Each structure stands twice: as C-alpha cells, then as structure tokens.
Amino acid sequence: MLKIGILGGGQLGRMLLQAAANYPVITHVMESDPECPAAHLCHQFTRGDIRNFEDVYQFGKGLDGISIEIESVNVEALEKLESEGIRVYPSPSALRIIRDKILQKQFYKEHDIPTSPFYVTQNRDELRKHDGFLPAVHKMGSGGYDGRGVQILSHAGELHKGFDAPSILERKVNIHKEISQIIAMNRKGETAIFPAAEMIFDPVHNQLDYQLSPAEIPQQSLWRIEAIALKVVKDLKTPGIFAVELFIDKNGDILVNETAPRVHNSGHHTIEANYCSQFDMLWRVMLDYPLGNPKQILPSAMVNLVGSEGQSGEACYEGLEDVLKLENAFLHLYGKKETRPGRKMGHVTILSTDKSDLVYKARTIKQKLRITSKQPV
Ligand code: ADP
C-alpha cells in the first residue's frame, strides 16, 4: 500500500484522513502538537516542525507521496524529497509561487490572469510613495493568513497602518461577491471542476461567515470563473487540488484574489453536498485513481463554528441539540480541546433545495450554537 504523508494536523488534515479511511493507503501526519485534530486518525503520527528542513525531510523520506494542509511548510525539504522521487502535491515550485503573495500576484500578471492592479512595496517608506493609489489593500508577502497580514488603507492618513515588510499594495476592489472555485488536477492533466461557491464574510473576524453553493451568479460569470480558475491551475503545472478565490466587482468584472494549493475551508460542504468531496478527490489524485464526480447533489450552506468572543480555555458546546434536530444539518467538530475567540472549532453543512431554508438554518445555527470555555477569561 502507498504511504502518504500530510504536513500539518489541523481540521483539513483531519477531514482528509476521514476520507482516506475508504482507500488502501497508509497515512502519516507531522505536526508539533500531538493533540492536534488529525493526530488520532492517521496510521502514524510524527511530532515535528513542518517549517524545519530536517523534520520535513526525515518525515518524507520513507513515503511515496506527501501533501500539505497549510502553505507555511519547508519548501526546500520538499524540493529535495521531490528530487529523490517522492511525489509532492502541490509541487514545491508551485508552492513557492503561492506561499508568497508577491510572487503569486506577479504570476497572475505574467500569465494574463485578471487580478487587481498592484505595486510591490519593500517597506513602509516605499509604501508612502503610493498615496495616490489609495484606496488599496496592503498584504504582507508572507506570514499572513485568515485576514492577518491584510490591511485596508482607505486614505493617506492610514498609511502608517501598512506593513514595514515586503508586501503588495493592490487596488481595493469594489466587491459584489466573493467566489471560491475548487478544481482538482491529476498527473495526466485531467481536471475536475466543482460548482463555484459564494462566500459571505464576517466583518468582525474577517473570516468566512457562511457559504452558499452553488453560487448565485449569472451563467456567463460562472463560465468565466471556471475558465480563469482552470487557467490558474493549468499554468501552475502541478497535480493537486486548488481553491481559486475570486472577486466579482460591481461592474461584473472577475478578478483572482488568491489561490490555495490544497483542500480549503470553502469546500467543506462537498463532504455531504457533492458526489465526490474535495477530500476524496485529493486522494484519487494522490493514489492515481480516476477523478470523482464533483457535481453537487443538493444546494448547500456551510457555517463555520468559531470560538465565542471573550472565551478562552477548554471548549464547551452550547446548543448542539438545537442544531442536530434541524433537518439535513451535518455537524463536524474538529476535536480541538481549547477554544479562543474566532478560532475555527467546527462547521455545519445544511442541504436544501430551498434557498431561504438554507439561509434561515445558517442563521439559526449561528445564533443557537455557541462555543464557550469552562472558565471564561
Ligand atoms: P487571507 O490570505 O488572509 O485570507 P485575502 O487576500 O484573502 O487574505 O484577504 C482577506 C479578505 O480581505 C478578502 O476575503 C476580502 O474580503 C478582502 N480583500 C482582499 N483583497 C482585497 C481587495 N483587493 N479589495 C477589496 N477587498 C479585498
């Protein structure tokens, strides 16, 4: 049986392992926290630092293939492993481009992939020269995730909030909708395109509030989104699974925001809502099996369950019964011992043919389910 390793043991790793249980594969996970969400579902857990060359190299050496659930991994070690014949999903060369927002934006520009115009700024002094480009969004080249490392600069008086590190300053998009397009590509270059999902953001935590799939957008826009996302994946020239995040602006123009070269939060609904989930699909890619059917069985909404404000410590789940009695609501808790404000602790997917039913249930779940700590601090 093939031995496949995953770098990182969070919820994405956990759901990958749940799907792996259906395939002939031996799973390995490396992560620094032995109590992480994926630790107890793999065949072999290795405690280690995914950013450390030696740890990643030693972990990968005996494996047939290796994948990631987070971009901040040691790419040099993955390059060495690749040169020794271990299959890496996504390829280290694609990962190098994507994990640095500067290289990623330059990649879009070089490949004629529509994205909002931008400048590269090395430090805050350089940023100040672009006061005529505002309103804009300043994004750190590396090190940011889930909204950290992203700063909206509306006018010159806010330039001091920008990053004093290599970053991109990109024109602020007048966003109509945020869309995620998930595409898998196998080693033969065959692709499976999931229906696009629409994301609604929570302005307080700057992370996904709830998500609807399929996205409610005109067919013309859907085709354009598919074509653009497909070009991103083909030009990255690597097998794997990709979530291409795009904006539709108020003029109806479509711009790529960023790409994740891995399974993604915006694809959790595919576990119940699609014939083949994003997790199942990645195993098919890594194990060289035929791609699955990405089509949707029923429309869905997905709600992230995040730790309540002002609550840190051992997690308590209030209102689980209210959620579990909803028809076609599917609960996923990630098994994280400790909650913190805004921490992703689980998600719920709802299926329904009726859009208002989806939105009503998404709101109900957000209202009824609270993740608190036993000892509020
Ligand atoms: P992260 O990698 O931390 O998720 P993103 O680049 O996706 O960061 O940005 C986070 C959010 O900030 C986006 O989902 C979007 O709502 C907003 N945003 C990012 N870029 C722009 C932009 N150019 N114009 C307007 N809003 C933006």
Q: Domain holding 326: CATH number?
A: 3.30.470.20
pTM (predicted TM-score): 0.95
Structural domain of 214: 176-295
> Would residue 95 count as lying in a domain?
no
Last residue of a domain, one of 278, 295, 312: 295
Q: pLDDT tens digits for the chain (377 residues)?
A: 999 999 999 999 999 999 999 999 999 999 999 999 999 999 999 999 999 999 999 999 999 999 999 999 999 999 999 999 999 999 999 999 999 999 999 999 999 999 999 999 999 999 999 999 999 999 999 876 666 799 999 999 999 999 999 999 999 999 999 999 999 999 999 999 999 999 887 677 666 679 999 999 999 999 999 999 999 999 999 999 999 999 999 999 999 999 999 999 999 999 999 999 999 999 999 999 999 999 999 999 999 999 998 989 999 999 999 999 999 999 999 999 999 998 999 999 999 999 999 999 999 999 999 999 976 55
368 shares a domain with 338: yes
Tell whether 97 is covered by a domain.
no
Q: Whose CA is nearest to atom 18 of ligand 1?
A: 137
What total number of domains does the chain contain?
A: 4
257 lines ligand 1 (CB under 6 A): yes
Confirm whether 99 is domain-assigned.
no
* Closest among 177, 110, 124, 179 to 153, alpha carbons compared: 124
One domain, residues 47 and 64: yes
Residue 188 in contact with residue 173, Cβ under 8 Å? no
Best residue for ligand 1 mutational test, from 140, 150, 181 (most atoms within 8 Å of Cβ): 150
User: How many alpha carbons lie under 13 Å from residue 60 in its C-beta half-sphere?
Assistant: 32
Which of 171, 190, 212 is where one domain is finished?
A: 171
Tell me whether residue 371 is in a domain: yes
Residues linked to residue 348 through DSSP beta bridges, in sequence order: 303, 331
Within a domain: 9? yes
Determine if ligand 1 sits within 6 Å of the CB of residue 313: no
